[in-house]
Amino acid sequence: MGKGGRRYIAIPPVVHTIVARIRALNPDGEYMFISPATGKRMKAESFSDKLEKICKYIDIPVKRLHKMRRTYASMLLDAGIPESIITNQMGHTDIATTRGYYYKDRHSDDEKVEVVSEALKLPVELIA
């Protein structure tokens, strides 16, 4: 399988619990998500469409899979996770790919002021 195919990622224990619950819905299936229409594995586009419908139904903001992937990458970068782990998790060979295509600044203006204040050793009031 190519570089964009299967990859193994580190996931926290709580995700294992969620995955186990999903697998229990289809314990004998080869895949976690099966299309009711075809009985085959659900492809990313179908999954995104279904996810969008569910988000609208429960009245929460819609996030497509690619947007979630960008948020995930941004959260890892913001948390200071080692670059080698991030590139492995994202399936990239270079952190520049992650930074260039996936990173989105998620900090509020207040957070930026606080970080700059700390870096310059100034009271927040002098910067704000």
For every residue of the chain, DSSP letters joined together read: --TTS-------HHHHHHHHHHHHHSTT-SSS-B-TTTSSBPPHHHHHHHHHHHHHHTT-----HHHHHHHHHHHHHHTT--HHHHHHHHT-S-HHHHHHHT------HHHHHHHHHHHHT--HHHH-
The C-alpha atoms of residue 10 and residue 82 are separated, in whole angstroms, by 13
Residue 49 token pair: 């469409």
> Which residue bears the tokens 């260039």?
100
> pLDDT digits over 59-82, tens only?
999 888 888 889 999 999 999 999
Please tell me the pTM assigned to this model: 0.68
Residue 128 token pair: 């704000």
> pLDDT digits over 21-57, tens only?
988 988 888 888 888 788 888 888 888 888 899 999 9
